[in-house]
Amino acid sequence: GHDIFNRFVVEINYTRKFMKLYEPGEYTPKKRYTEIPLLIEDTKPYIQASIIIDDTSKFTGKFMIDTGASHALLINENSIKNINVPELHIKTDIGRGLGGPISGQIAYIDQMKIDKYSFKDLIASFPAPESYPDTVGLVYRNGTIGGELLTRFTVILDYFNEKMYLKKSSRYKKSFGYNMSGLTVIADGEELKKFKISNVRDQSPAYDAGLLEEDYIEYINGISIEKLSLNEVYEIFNFREGKRISLVITRDGETKRVNFKLRDLLAEDN
């Protein structure tokens, strides 16, 4: 949270899974890192990024850095006039907020550029305004950059000098994926150790396989759910088109096995 970022220079190494804190007076910028101007407004960090959605929709905008978000890029459709959601998109729940599920659309966009770093064919989320009110201090922004993109770097955030430093990680060239199962899964139970299906997207592989809201997942591809985190569950659902998924679920006290294959509904040949 802000109390940590406001007190220390923070290094986040997603590949090695650690965070390092530096006293501001003792931190020296490292070599091989790219320096990005950082704007701090209402305790939140923002950077500039260039977006090409398609041939008719492109802009340079202001994006909040959200290290806790799972998406790669979220674009506020109403923040500027020439933002058009691509014709090929999926309507789905794109996340959860304090008020519950956030509905919207996901689609591939042509390109995003941060300084010298350029990403093509990445997945962008376009939240529905009615389910995603902008309550973050009323600071104008065009969207947020989340963990799915930040994991491609080692990230250093220096609030004191209003700078962000990026260095490519081994994940830099990893393709961008999305949940191809059609399932939204939430942690449930007293200790949040149970994983419950909270939504099944229409016409998705999970929908066609007969999965329902309120089903509880017990095993995924032979692995007990007790050995998986919620993030690892979604990594399986994001894996690749054609990946076979085998679930053991409980429904109304009965155990069922359900099989389906991941399918990329955003691919033009579907």
- Residue range 133-157, pLDDT digits in tens: 654 445 689 999 998 999 999 999 9
Q: Indicate the average pLDDT of the chain.
A: 89
For residue 7, the one-letter residue type is: R
Return the SS3 of 226. helix
Per-residue pLDDT at 76: 92
206 band by pLDDT with thresholds 50, 70 and 90: very high
For residue 89, pLDDT over 70 is answered with yes
For residue 101, pLDDT over 80 is answered with no
> What is the spatial distance between Cα 38 and Cα 126, in angstroms, rounded to a whole number?
24
Going from the C-alpha of 54 to that of each of 59, 89, 115, 142, 231, the distances in angstroms are 11, 13, 20, 17, 30
> What is the spatial distance between Cα 18 and Cα 254, in angstroms, rounded to a whole number?
41
Per-residue pLDDT at 12: 95
44 band by pLDDT with thresholds 50, 70 and 90: very high
Contact 216, 249 (CB under 8 A): yes
Rounded average pLDDT over 222-238: 90
162-192 tens-digit pLDDT: 999 999 999 999 888 888 999 989 888 887 8
| Alpha helices per DSSP H over 110-163 | 147-150
Tokens representing 139 are 């600071």
Q: Is the dihedral of CA 244, 249, 251, 254 positive or negative?
A: positive
First to last CA, the chain: 42
For residue 96, pLDDT over 80 is answered with no
Return the exposure string of 134-170: e unless at least 16 CB atoms fall within 10 Å of the residue's CB, then b.
Answer: eeeeeeebbbbbbbbbbbbbbbbbbbeeebbbbbebe
Q: What percent of the chain has pLDDT over 90?
A: 63
Q: Is the pTM of this model over 0.85?
A: no
For residue 196, pLDDT over 90 is answered with yes
**Greatest mean pLDDT range, 10-14, 76-80, 177-181:** 10-14
243-265 tens-digit pLDDT: 999 999 999 999 999 999 999 88
